[in-house]
Amino acid sequence: MDLQIIYEDDKMFVCNKPTGVLAQSGKSFDVDMVSALMTYRKKKGEDTFVGVINRLDRQVSGLMVFAKTKQEAAILNKLLQQKEFNKHYYAVVCGKLDEDKGTFVDYLLKDGKTNTSTVVSKDRKDAKRAELEYEVIKSIIDENTGKNLTLVKIRLITGRHHQIRVQFAVRGLPLEGDSKYGDADTISMNDKSSLHKNCADGIALCAYSLQIRKQEFEIEPEASIFKMFE
């Protein structure tokens, strides 16, 4: 894996996680960001502690923050809980939104056995409030499938499990490439559309901007599907 370190100081890393790479080690032996950073630190002769601060799904790309010490991990996690992280995403959704700007507020319940989240009543036990703001950037029509696709910019107010994916999907706007929350037409390995081929290994979702303690970091999404809206 080409480790893309966007920023590094004596307390933390900010990295660009590629699509398909785990944030941290799972049950498989696949490469993950934490292991890669530990190896990087070991080669530099440093302590190999790496703490994950914000997480991204394997199929999602974008900016992640990692602490270099337990003390810094505690500080950054506290900032995250206090909503001192300003997180922005680009996403491509299947369909068109009724409004160019808006806010989604739902209550989500995570199922650890299936690793999914669903929208439930706010009175449901263990339900957590999920809020995001969105802005439509551009809509296009896939010439091969006739499907409407819309590029949206998202600001996360809360950070819930699969939040963006669930909140758009429940409104009939699943993310392109998301087979878990979309329908059978959301992604098809047999579809010859260039849009589908570009999302065959991931979801059209990128954490492109992050602000922490007045430091702002930003990247350009690498997936070809985002470039089709230029």
Of the candidate ranges 60-69, 169-178, 197-206, the one whose mean pLDDT is the lowest:
197-206
Query: Same structural domain for residues 71 and 133?
Result: no
Q: What gap in Å lies between CA 173 and CA 139, rounded to an integer?
A: 13
Query: Same structural domain for residues 165 and 224?
Result: yes
Query: Same structural domain for residues 101 and 184?
Result: yes
Looking at the domain assignment, is residue 10 inside a domain?
A: yes
Query: Same structural domain for residues 125 and 192?
Result: yes
pLDDT higher than threshold 60 for residue 216: yes
Query: Same structural domain for residues 93 and 152?
Result: yes
Structural domain tally of the chain? 2
**Per residue in 157-168, pLDDT tens?**
998 999 999 999
Per the rule left: phi > 0, alpha: psi between -120 and 50, beta: everything else, 83 is left
Of the candidate ranges 136-140, 192-196, 217-221, the one whose mean pLDDT is the lowest:
192-196
**Per residue in 9-21, pLDDT tens?**
999 999 999 999 9
Query: Same structural domain for residues 91 and 177?
Result: yes
Q: What gap in Å lies between CA 16 and CA 219, rounded to an integer?
A: 8
> What's the pLDDT at 1?
74
**Per residue in 143-154, pLDDT tens?**
877 889 999 999
Query: Same structural domain for residues 166 and 129?
Result: yes
Looking at the domain assignment, is residue 215 inside a domain?
A: no
196: helix, strand or coil:
helix
Arithmetic mean of pLDDT, 54-80? 95
> What's the pLDDT at 25?
82
Q: What gap in Å lies between CA 40 and CA 46, rounded to an integer?
A: 9
Where a domain ends, among 33, 48, 82? 82
Range of the domain at 114: 86-210+220-230
> What's the pLDDT at 198?
41
Where a domain ends, among 82, 103, 120? 82
Query: Same structural domain for residues 73 and 90?
Result: no
* CATH code of 47's domain: 3.30.2350.10
Looking at the domain assignment, is residue 97 inside a domain?
A: yes
Arithmetic mean of pLDDT, 211-230? 89
Q: What gap in Å lies between CA 60 and CA 205, rounded to an integer?
A: 6
Where a domain ends, among 24, 53, 82? 82
Query: Same structural domain for residues 205 and 139?
Result: yes
> What's the pLDDT at 13?
97
- The secondary structure of 6-69 as a DSSP string is EEE-SSEEEEEEPTT-BSS--SS---BHHHHHHHHHHHTT-----EE-S---TT-EEEEEEESS
* C-beta of residue 176 within 8 angstroms of C-beta of residue 93: yes
Query: Same structural domain for residues 143 and 43?
Result: no
Query: Same structural domain for residues 152 and 137?
Result: yes
Phi and psi at 41, nearest 5°, equal -70, -40
Query: Same structural domain for residues 19 and 105?
Result: no
